[in-house]
Amino acid sequence: MTDTQAHREQVHERVLSWYAAHGRDLPWRRPEATPWGIYVSEIMAQQTPIARILGPWLTWLKRWPNPAALAADPPAEAIRAWDRLGYPRRALNLHAAATAMVRDHDGEVPADLDQLRALPGVGEYTAAAVGSFAFGIPAPVVDTNVRRVLARIALGEAQAAPSLTKAERDLAAAWMPADPDDANRWNVASMELGALVCTARTPGCGVCPVADLCVWRVAGSPAYDGPRRPHQGYAGTDREVRGAIMAIVREADAAVPAAAFTDVAAADRIERAVAGLVADGLLRLSEQGYDLPR
């Protein structure tokens, strides 16, 4: 089996039909979703599973239904509302982006890829995702799931490379349907296929709509023999220490003295974590102690 245009069109047709029947009903995918709601979902979904962001997303949009509402509050409120989603720098980026939208874009999410890339915390993937899902710009949206789907269907490889390559970007662009509407639906449908069926460890080839068109499956599902991705857990890491310190500060009604962190970890790790949080703008040091930025 070779990767031809006819092969791609068959895959497109089946995956789009599968998605129409089996795609998850997520609020930011509904027709009434606003560009701001889609933008918030993409920032929250950076390095966080979809299942964990649904509740926080609903709460966030109820409190801050547009960029102006968020920009009017201090950054501390964004960090506090972020709670335990992890990587709280994203909350600061969301606040800074909302401020930029109010200042530079009339309080709206910009409908331009270059302007999206210029927002704090936005890279190539997030700009493409917001452009595609919010504004119908048919830019390739290449996340881990899409990379794995294309590695298997098009290249016959069990997994994608540990990090995104130019060759993968070119492959994703080549696999975009010609019709803009189909291209935007393909972005979300191929992502959903990778999340629900074409998973990393236990792919559901028996229920995959394109199993007979998958180069990897037809070749007998050969094992991955490329470089392994580095794996880092959470327990015992500096991230865990930072998270514990942030939890103490978020839950306090006033500035917290350094002594409040004593039981979190060893003194040198606490010192390193606190210094990093201050450098990242997530904590502020005053005469009273540590609190969230204002």
The helix/strand/coil state of 291 is strand
Residue 256 per-residue DSSP state: B
Structure tokens at 146: 């899409």
Q: Which amino acid is present at 108? A: E
Residues 40/16, Cβ–Cβ less than 8 Å: no
Annotated catalytic, 271? no
Report the candidate in 161, 130, 167 with the shortest Cα–Cα distance to residue 144. Answer: 161
Q: Which of 42, 157, 168, 192 is catalytic?
A: 42
Whole-number Å distance between alpha carbons of 39 and 85: 16
* Helices 50-63 + 35-44 axis angle, to 10: 140
Report the candidate in 235, 289, 280, 265 with the shortest Cα–Cα distance to residue 88. Answer: 280
Report the candidate in 181, 195, 183, 103 with the shortest Cα–Cα distance to residue 141. Answer: 183
Whole-number Å distance between alpha carbons of 144 and 95: 26
Residues contacting 8, CB < 8 A, separation 6+: 175
Active site residues per annotation: 42
